[in-house]
Each structure stands twice: as C-alpha cells, then as structure tokens.
Amino acid sequence: MFRFFENLVDPYTPHASTDRPPQRLLPFIMEYAQPFRKLFVCAGLLSVAVAAVEIWLIWIMGWVVDILAGEPAQVWEDHGTALILLGLFLLFIRPLIQALDVLVLNNAIMPQFGTLIRWRAHGQVLRQSVGWFENDFAGRIANRIMQTPPAAGEAVFQVFDALTFAIAYVAGAAIVLGDADIRLMLPLVFWLLGYAALMTWTIRRVGPASEAASEARSMVNGRVVDAYTNIHSVKMFAQSGQELDYAREAIDQARATFQREMRLYTIMDVALVALNGLLIVGVTGWGILLWMQGEASVGIVAAATALALRLNAMTGWIMWALTTFFRQLGVVSEGMKTIAQPIELTDAPDAKPLALTRGEIVLDKVTHHYGRGHGGLDAIDLTIAPGEKIGLVGRSGAGKSTLVKLLLRFYDTESGRILLDGQALPDVTQDSLRRSIGMVQQDSTLLHRSVRDNLRYGRPDATEDQVIEAAKRAEAHEFILGLQDAQGRTGYDAHVGERGVKLSGGQRQRIALARVILKDAPILLLDEATSALDSEVEAAIQDTLYGMMQGKTVIAIAHRLSTIAQMDRILVLDGGKIAEEGTHDVLLERGGLYASFWARQSGGFMDPDSQGAQASNDPEKAAE
C-alpha cells in the first residue's frame, strides 16, 4: 500500500531545463509542482472531507444529547438504527477517509516533492558557469540547495494539513451555528474579523523576518564551510581565533534575526489567547442565554460550546501553521536567490556537438578583462596548427590562465571569437567541448570518492585494465596499491578525502595525470602539470608526458622553462598580448623577455614577477 502511493509521482521524471527560471515565488513553486497538480487537488478535497466529518460529528453529538432526554427504550426504538450506523461510520468510514488523506499527503506528496526540488535545483545550479561559483561561498550555495526543498515541502504540508482543513472547518462551523440559530453566528463573525486582523499583522512581518533569518543562516554556513575547506591554511597560519571571530559575526547576525522573528510569535500568541476568550464567552454565553429564553435546546448549546472549544484548541495550531507556511515561503524565497538565478553562459539555441577531426585552434582578436577593463587578454590573434605543441610563459597576470579558461569556455570572450576546427565555441555544446579537452592543473583537486572513481571521471566506461595501465604510466600504480582509508578500503577502492586532502600534492598530481591519460582527449592543456612532483618522479614520467602529447594539440603553461623547451613554439604573454613567439633557441637569440626569464632561472624556475632588474635564485618563487 505504501509503495503504491510513494510511486504515484517519480521525482526524477524528465523535464525541460530553463535558462531563465521564474523570479517570483508562486510561479517558481508552481513550476516545480507541475507533476503533483492532480495529487494537490486530491489532497485538498480530502482535507475538506476530513474537516466536514469533524464538523458533522459535533453536530451529531448535539443531536445525541437532545434524543437522550427521552425514555431509553423509546430512544432505542426510534433511533437505534441511526446510532448503529453512526458507530459503523466512526469505526470504518471515518478512518478510511483519514487514511486516504494522510497517505496522499505524507506518502505520495511529501517525500517526492522535496526530492524533486532538490534534484532539479542541484541540476540547475550545476549548469551555472565556473565564474558564477567563484563569486559565492560554496557553503552558502549548498545550504540554499539543502534548506529550500524541505521548506517548500513544509509549506505544501501546511496548505493541505492545516490551512485547507481550517478554512473548511470554520465554514462548516458557521453553517452549523447558523442552522441552529442565526444569532449564534455573530460571536463567530466578530472573532473571525479579529483573527483575520491578527493574521494579517503577523503574516506581513513573518515572511520578511524569515527570509532575513534564512539569509543569515546561509551566511553562517558559508563562513563555517569556508574555514573547514581551507583548514590547512587556518592551521598553518594559526588563525583559529580569527576564524571564530569571522564566524561569530555571522552567528550573532543570525541570532539577532531569529530574535526578531520570535518576538512576532510571542505577540501573536498573547493576542490569540485574548481573542479565543472572547470566542468562548461569546458563543457559549449566547447559547446559554438562548436556552434560558427557551429558544435553543440543550443539544444546540452543547454543540455550540463544543465548536467554540474546538476552535479555541485549533486556533493556535492554525495560526502556527499559517505563520509556518509564510516562514517557509521566506526560506524558499531566500533559496531562490541561488536556484532561480538565470544561466548566463549558455549554448546557442542550435548548438551541436563539437566535431573535432584535426585539432586546430584559432583565436580571432580575443579580448577578455573579466568586466574590469584591464587584466586578462587584449585583442589576441593566434592560430595553433593541428598537433602543434605550444608553450605559454609570462609574468603573473599576463593572461595565461585566462586563455585556458576561455578555451574551456569557463567564460565567454568579451569580444572576438575562438574556433576549434572552424567551429565557434558558443555554437557547440559545452559538454562536447570539454570532453574533447584534457586538462591537468597546477593544483589538481580530487573528489571525495575512490581512486578508481576519480580516475574514471573523464572516461566512465574505462575497463579495470585501462585504469591500471593509465596509473602505471603516471607512476601512480605503486603508491595507490599501498593506500588505505579510515573505513579499511584499500588500493583503488580507497577514498581520497575532500579535494584529495589525504594524499600528498605529488600523489594528487599523478592521479590527475593518470585521469587525463585515461581520457585521451585530442586537445591537451597542461598548467604546471609537474610542479607538485619531485625531480625523480618528474624525470620518470617525462617520457609519458611527451607520449601523451603525440598526435594532440597541446598548450602547456610552465614556469619551469626546461619543461617546455622542446615545444614547437613558445608564446610569451605580457600585459594580455603576445610579446614574443618562436622556438626556444630563437627566443634566446632575440634576448627579449623569454631570454631574461631563462637567465634568471634557478633550478628551472622563472621569477614571473621579475621586471628584469635583479636575478632571482629562489626556486620557490614560482607563481602563475
């Protein structure tokens, strides 16, 4: 039975992704709720049915009180069948209606609705560009993804578990009281006016207060996760105290916003108690007065009193449900600041998979300054022939990493265009572009998964033999066999920790190299690919690196100039422009920037910030 209701909606049902999600709250929720529309209607009708049964039971109990005024035998003779049917209804029909109500809400809607939102929200955020992620805390993004689905689910729950039920109950109470004596409705009407005024006052303040509190919680999460992610730096610089102070500022802001939110609930609760006193005195007192005047039966007084007491018990719950509803909408609204942000870096409407047959790269007057007007690249013209090996050198900020990021389309060019085999990057799908490029970075990070999963990340269908062969070529196989994690997993099954922190820098780099070897993409980007390796290991895999380059178009960024001396061509970037280009020998003969970098090396490193005034003999001063 449970499985039937749980499978009424598949939270992973295919859906069309959108680059411009709804920016208003209701359309945002309704877009996610589309697969649940029929269930929402069913839940609403069942909630009304449950409320109607509750009201009818109070009315019928008043009738029972009235008939009990007669002789027992006569009462049984006249009403015995009705009493038996009433008992059967209470034993079988009422539980069935209630069961259907909770099964639809608790089992068909709640688990699936939150799952659907979390799944789609995560997918939407993953479509954002690298630059988008670089402008926010990872912890805050994750917090919004995690807290928005349960908040939306709680809002839906309150609609059908409390609000729909409450509206139907109050309407039914008015009908019952009006049917007994129209004058009994007057206290209820006045109470409803006061109750509506209190709700309006509370709701206007709860939504913004809740959104502010949610934003403050997200900031706390972002700062705390930032410290944990960079725990090595925190410990190395002995800055635990500073991180505590940094977190305390956000925590105190979260406390202040929560305090303001709780003040609203205190005012609401006190006012509600006073209103409910007026309701009980008004309805019960008026009912007694009518009975004393002979205009109402004891059963009517009993039913009216029961309704007043029931509403008294319900109003706190209803008000709390209502404020919870708007509080959760505030959380959803705060989460929309991440989930509903437009996707700015998109494929062209008719984008096709990249058809890479030769590997030619053309940069046509490419300019990109990250929106600042300076830095990056400035009107670069460059053609890299198929299979050509290019080395990139230059001072920090010269534009080397910018060129690589633009080629991967982590950013779009501000002007100009990049073509691969004649295809402009925006005209091909981003996934197909990046599948055609292998990249090894200076600081390669790994996923907190097994070594095998990390190696297969670029080629999920690789066989075990292919994985091991790639690891061997990267001089990683031997140390992988000796790995063991805290759960006892060993070798290729061992997990490497968040960002690969359980491994040394050299080990991470060798796994990253093995991953790219396994991917075997036709274009290869190397950003200081061997900088984390000791000289012995680097020498052992140099042949592997050159073997990787065979038949591929290669761009290699290096500060250790000896690693690119054998490249077909070396480009020297300076101030976002190509200052020099040529082979190693040609550039040395020119006596320009490259020659000065080479002359100022120590152990094969260049001083990227040197302006040519002094030599640097410090091999540790290797930078971007």
Q: What pLDDT, in 10s, does the model give residues 346-370?
A: 888 899 999 998 999 999 999 998 8
E-only strand ranges, 376-460: 377-384, 389-394, 415-420, 423-424, 437-440
> Is pLDDT at 607 greater than 70 in this prediction?
no
Determine the Cα–Cα distance for residues 324 and 329; give it in Å rounded to an integer.
8
Mean of per-residue pLDDT scores for the chain: 84
pLDDT tens digits along 101-148:
999 999 999 999 999 999 999 999 988 988 888 888 787 888 888 888
Average pLDDT of span 7-20: 89
φ, ψ for residue 105, nearest 5 deg:
-75, -50
User: Residue 533 has what pLDDT?
Assistant: 62
Q: Is 394 left (phi over 0), alpha (psi -120 to 50) or beta?
A: left
E-only strand ranges, 133-283: none
Is 403 or 294 the better-scoring residue by pLDDT? 403
Is 435 or 304 the better-scoring residue by pLDDT? 435
CATH code of the domain occupying 22-339: 1.20.1560.10
First to last CA, the chain: 61
SS3 label, residue 412: coil
pLDDT tens digits along 339-348:
889 998 888 8
Domain boundaries, the chain: 22-339
E-only strand ranges, 245-332: none
pLDDT tens digits along 388-421:
999 999 888 888 889 999 999 999 999 999 999 9
User: Residue 232 has what pLDDT?
Assistant: 66
SS3 label, residue 602: strand
Q: For 428, which DSSP code?
A: B
Average pLDDT of span 3-32: 89
> Is pLDDT at 287 greater than 50 in this prediction?
yes
Q: How confident is the model at residue 610 (pLDDT cuts 50, 70, 90)?
A: very low
Is 100 or 563 the better-scoring residue by pLDDT? 100
Is 146 or 321 the better-scoring residue by pLDDT? 146
User: Residue 619 has what pLDDT?
Assistant: 30
> Is pLDDT at 38 greater than 80 in this prediction?
yes
> Is pLDDT at 52 greater than 80 in this prediction?
yes
Q: How confident is the model at residue 242 (pLDDT cuts 50, 70, 90)?
A: confident
Is 486 or 602 the better-scoring residue by pLDDT? 486
φ, ψ for residue 202, nearest 5 deg:
-70, -45
Determine the Cα–Cα distance for residues 335 and 261; give it in Å rounded to an integer.
18
Contact between 410 and 441 under an 8 Å Cβ cutoff? The reply is: no
E-only strand ranges, 288-388: 361-368, 377-384
Rounded (to 5) percent helix, strand, coil in the chain? 65, 10, 25
Instruction: Name the residue with tokens 């295809």.
Output: 423
Contact between 604 and 531 under an 8 Å Cβ cutoff? The reply is: no
pLDDT tens digits along 184-208:
777 778 877 887 888 788 878 877 8
User: Residue 376 has what pLDDT?
Assistant: 86
Q: How confident is the model at residue 97 (pLDDT cuts 50, 70, 90)?
A: very high
pLDDT tens digits along 485-514:
888 999 999 998 877 777 887 888 888 889
